[in-house]
A = this chain, B = another copy of it.
Amino acid sequence: MSHNSFGHLFRITTWGESHGPAIGCVVDGCPPGIPITEAEIQSYLDKRRPGQSKYTTQRKEPDTVEILSGVFANDEGEQVTTGTPIALQIKNVDARSKDYGDIKDKFRPGHADYTYAEKYGVRDYRGSGRASARETATRVAAGAVARKVVPGLRVRGALVQVGPHKIDRANWNWDAVNENPFFCPDPKAAEIWADFLDEVRKSGSSTGAVIEIVADGVPVGLGAPLYAKLDQDICSGLMSINAVKGVEIGSGFEAAALSGEENADEIRNGPPGWPTFLSNHAGGILGGISTGQPVVARFAVKPTSSILQPRNTIDKDGNNTEVVTKGRHDPCVGIRAVPIGEAMVAIVLADHYLRHRGQTGQDAAQDIDANLDWLPTDSSS
């Protein structure tokens, strides 16, 4: 067990505070021989990086990753994983700790200030310390490695709701996701969100969001009953992200309102080893084990608790007071949660891929490309 590790055979351990000298993670158990470079990891970090639009925090962090161990040149001179721990480190360069003097002794509502103080008796209050979403950069870095562990795996995410505004799923276009500052697959919704978020931002408020992650190319058989279910571990991984309050797989909470015949995905003859499911209410997982269909997960992020409006609270001596949270904050942390959610799903899949291979000896020799061909394009149908 560990309080700051995640995964089993593919395992990450993260460390660092928002305003400390650096943050980092150790990726342990990665298979050897996987080509990986700092540039490749950086490309994912750049998606999560703050300050890229007016809709995210203005803190200027280059989030430059360094690989400190676990990668070495193979006989062909290519940098590959060696099977030993991969230490990834990101220096903090734009911390403004003075912004946080006011909250040293006050507990911000919706934040972990009170609970950390009660649990540990001491806390690094600067930029929320360990409770800061800054830690998630290390997850994205680790996720970049994880993505390469499962041959043929593709993990993509999108924002599907901002505040009360949901996308129209009929407009879903994966290409659109990278063409707006919201990772929104519905160009029309993106316009509505832009107006909505301008308003939220100007009023010093914040808003929640829902993110959807879709993984395709997932081999059949990942996961295990019971207590090591693939959906269970995906939910665990997503719930471990700051501000997440709900997680669902496939039809999720909507399944509660369905009948058995509506919900259970019928099966038809398909390519050998890859039957065709006529729908994907299951989100690609049955009995905790992947079906070969796309794995579909969604998670809800609460509105940022750091807002400019004064709020009732107490100080550490128990006195009633008010607090206003300055500092540079995301009006909607859900936006940057997209690459983070992708990373966590990739990490869970990498872990279960290795666990499955360990227990059963099965590798991914199945024709993943064939699989992708016949899969329904609307993974959430």
Contacts and interface: CB of A to CB of B under 8 A. Distances in A.
Interface string A324-361: 00000000001000000000000000000011111111
A48 interface: no
Contact of A225 (B131, B262, B290): B131
A14 B262 CA distance: 32
A261 B251 CA distance: 30
Contact of A119 (B123, B231, B283, B289): B289
* Residues of A in contact with B, size category: 35 or more
B286 A228 contact: no
Contact of A210 (B108, B163, B253, B357): B253
A2 interface: yes
A115 interface: yes
A11 interface: yes
B68 A20 contact: yes
A111 B288 CA distance: 10
Given A227-B6, A251-B302, A269 B318 contact: yes
Contacts of A130: 69, 82, 84-85, 225-226
Interface string A95-120: 00000000000011111101110111
Contacts of A307: 260-261, 264
Contacts of A6: 227
A174 interface: no
B120 A360 contact: yes
A259 B119 CA distance: 28
B121 A32 contact: yes
Given A17-B70, A109-B267, A115-B291, 16 more contacts: A1-B228, A2-B2, A3-B29, A3-B226, A21-B68, A32-B122, A110-B263, A112-B286, A114-B291, A115-B221, A161-B256, A245-B249, A260-B305, A264-B305, A269-B320, A275-B318
**CB-based closest 8 A-B pairs:** A112-B287, A358-B358, A110-B264, A246-B248, A115-B289, A206-B260, A119-B221, A1-B8
21 contacts: A2-B8, A3-B224, A9-B9, A23-B69, A31-B359, A32-B360, A83-B122, A83-B224, A110-B286, A111-B287, A112-B287, A135-B226, A205-B261, A227-B240, A232-B239, A236-B236, A247-B247, A253-B253, A256-B300, A263-B305, A269-B318
